[in-house]
Amino acid sequence: MKKIGRADPLPPPVDDPSVPLTLQLLADTVPGGLALLVSGGDGKPRVEASCPPRLRVGTGLRVPPGLLTAHPVAFDASTRRVPAEWTAILGDHPAHFAAVPVGERALHLVLAGTGGKAIAPPSLARWGQLMSRLLDRDRISLRADASRRLAALIDGLPSPLAFVDGGTIEVFVNDGARQLLGIAPGVRSARTIAAALALLVQQDGDGQAAALARDPMASLTFAIDRGGRHFAVDSRWVSEPELTGRVWLFRDVTDDYRIARFRDELVSNVSHELRTPLTSILGALTLLDVGPQGGVSEENATLIDIALRNGRRLLGLVGDLLDLDRAEAHGLNLARRPTDLSLLLADAIVQNRPMAQRHDVTVTLLVDDDGLGVDHHADVDPDRLLQVVGNLLSNAVKFSPEGGAVTVRLRRAATGWRLTVADEGAGIPDELREQLFTRFARGSTPSRIGIPGTGLGLAIVKAIVEAHGGTIAVEPPGGGGAVFHVDLPD
């Protein structure tokens, strides 16, 4: 990225300690958010402040057309020509942009995000007004003035928010956060508010209270329900030269929650309704006599074979969706019995050998201490575990280059067994790692290069492994390829 020097006239530097905090609060309102103060009265936009700090002050910046105007602007990225550098800046494809002019220095407050919805222009205008007040006021008695402005900022925010100042032990909380914390209007006791926040973590923090006790600067993320609405709570430590403390942001995700629930129920209901007619169709197709005496031409026989293959694939997709539905609703029922894991892995390799041969991939099985009389038995559901290994092995083969190798390994672990599947492919993109084991998780590369898949396999694998009391993890990026570990108890 080209760096613009300071030879051209620039507005005074942004040195108000409240400005980075305000940018961070704004960035936190959307997934993958980046908030910037941008100067550009001379037609050459430059960065004056960035949160997260991904861009240096003075960096030249190309922006989508129509972003920096005299009025609040918000639009989806798909509607404009977005410079390619924004994907690198955000770490993912931008989903939306918003900007509003602030202050009297030809500055714009810019917000970009990779998910969720663009901020509405009325809310954007309020943010712009708040930022304008921060930038344009005289800096008299910085510490006292910063506290007053911070209180005004938090009181005026549309989202519930609290801030505990680590330097002065002051606590700032707006009306929305008061309602969620059960704090009566007018109560300003720092001790009372801090106690309410501590109780919130203790009761709803999913066990994160212990982590906060060990590390007071730890970041927290959990969910709460209040009055029939769902909120995502994000708490993190902010450290700036003149402003240090903990921010608590409460984001209303009720609509997202309802949409996700409706989607899951719809998928489940449709899956149930599809299964019976699909089974009937496949049965009828199977009964068709495609031999020389059946009177079916070679062309029709080919069409029947295509219909069978695609029907079985669709029936498999329906089965996967129903498996996930059962796992999430009631848990999977396992038919456990003592099973030789080494033979099970060998069986999985045999079943996937035709695919490996088509892709010119070599699959190797390594069993530690094999031949030394080690008992490789474990109490598992062999059919379900074969499904786990088959899915991991199928993915490894599909994503391996021609002539590549896949290694399947079984070894003793401290509390049971570890099954490992490693390939020599391109590895897992960083943006996919956090959602790797969720429904329909699928990166852009497989779709682009034509690798089939629904994004359900690893979600089912995780459900089966956890039903066995085990865990599944993928190694951090480093050596190339993808390496999955499944740990199972004895």
Check pLDDT > 70 for residue 289.
Answer: no
Max Cα-Cα span within the chain? 98
Check pLDDT > 90 for residue 486.
Answer: yes
The answer to whether the beta carbons of residues 363 and 406 sit under 8 Å apart is yes
What are the distances in angstroms from CA 379 to CA 86, 185, 235, 314, 417? 51, 58, 42, 32, 11
**The predicted structure's pLDDT at residue 435:** 78
47-56, 147-156, 390-399: which has the minimum mean pLDDT?
Answer: 147-156
Tens-place pLDDT, residues 312-329: 767 766 776 667 666 665
**The predicted structure's pLDDT at residue 143:** 55
> Rounded mean pLDDT of 331-341?
86
> Rounded mean pLDDT of 217-233?
87
Q: Domain residues of the chain, as ranges? A: 17-145, 158-252, 263-329, 337-489
Whether residue 65 is preceded by a cis peptide bond, meaning omega within 30 degrees of 0, is: no
For 228, left (φ over 0), alpha (ψ -120 to 50), or beta? Answer: left
- The helix, strand and coil proportions of the chain, stated in percent and rounded to the nearest 5, come to 40, 20, 35
> Rounded mean pLDDT of 176-187?
84
pLDDT confidence bin for 415, thresholds 50/70/90: confident
Place of tokens 């212990």: 210
Tens-place pLDDT, residues 48-101: 889 988 898 888 899 999 898 888 899 999 999 999 999 999 989 999 999 999
8-17, 125-134, 452-461, 470-479: which has the minimum mean pLDDT?
Answer: 8-17
pLDDT confidence bin for 191, thresholds 50/70/90: confident
pTM of the model: 0.44
DSSP annotation of 415 reads S
97-106, 122-131, 272-281, 289-298: which has the minimum mean pLDDT?
Answer: 289-298
> Rounded mean pLDDT of 211-235?
86
Q: How far apart are CA 46 and CA 185, in angstroms?
A: 43
> Rounded mean pLDDT of 166-175?
74
The answer to whether the beta carbons of residues 417 and 341 sit under 8 Å apart is yes
Burial label, 333 (beta-carbon count in 10 A; 0-12, 13-18, 19+): exposed
CATH of domain 337-489: 3.30.565.10
Check pLDDT > 60 for residue 393.
Answer: yes
Q: How far apart are CA 18 and CA 16, in angstroms?
A: 5
pLDDT confidence bin for 485, thresholds 50/70/90: very high
Helices marked H in 330-381: 341-351, 353-358
**The predicted structure's pLDDT at residue 139:** 43
Beta strand extents in 368-424 (DSSP E only): 377-380, 405-412, 416-422
Of all residues in the chain, what percent carry a pLDDT higher than 70?
A: 80
CB atoms within 10 A of CB 293: 6
Among 2-11, 182-191, 443-452, the range of highest mean pLDDT: 182-191
**The predicted structure's pLDDT at residue 307:** 81
Check pLDDT > 50 for residue 459.
Answer: yes
The DSSP H or E segment spanning 113 is: strand 107-113
> Rounded mean pLDDT of 112-118?
87
| Overall fold of domain 17-145 | Beta-Lactamase (3.30.450)
Among 162-176, 184-198, 356-370, 434-448, the range of highest mean pLDDT: 356-370
123-132, 252-261, 269-278, 375-384: which has the minimum mean pLDDT?
Answer: 269-278
Geometric angle at alpha carbon 427, from 423 and 428, rounded to 5°: 125
Look at 460 and 370; give whichever has higher pLDDT: 460
**The predicted structure's pLDDT at residue 75:** 92
Check pLDDT > 90 for residue 479.
Answer: no
The DSSP H or E segment spanning 172 is: strand 171-173
For 18, the token pair is 């409240």
**The predicted structure's pLDDT at residue 447:** 43
**The predicted structure's pLDDT at residue 118:** 80
Check pLDDT > 90 for residue 206.
Answer: no
> Rounded mean pLDDT of 437-462?
63
pLDDT confidence bin for 458, thresholds 50/70/90: confident
**The predicted structure's pLDDT at residue 334:** 84
**The predicted structure's pLDDT at residue 308:** 79
What average pLDDT is seen over the chain? 80
Among 1-5, 53-57, 134-138, the range of highest mean pLDDT: 53-57
Burial label, 168 (beta-carbon count in 10 A; 0-12, 13-18, 19+): middle
CATH number among 3.40.50.300, 3.30.70.590, 3.30.450.20, 2.60.40.10, domain 158-252: 3.30.450.20
CATH of domain 263-329: 1.10.287.130
Check pLDDT > 80 for residue 365.
Answer: yes
Sign of CA dihedral 84, 85, 86, 90: positive
Give me the phi and psi of 111, to 5 degrees please: -125, 125
What is the DSSP code string of 246-287?
A: EEEEEEE-HHHHHHHHHHHHHHHHHHHHHHHHHHHHHHHHHH
The answer to whether the beta carbons of residues 360 and 385 sit under 8 Å apart is no
- Side-by-side strand order, sheet with 229-239: 171-173, 161-165, 244-252, 229-239, 220-226
Same fold for the domain at 158-252 and the one at 263-329?
Answer: no
Check pLDDT > 60 for residue 9.
Answer: no
The answer to whether the beta carbons of residues 247 and 171 sit under 8 Å apart is no
Secondary structure tally for the chain: helices H, strands E:
15, 17
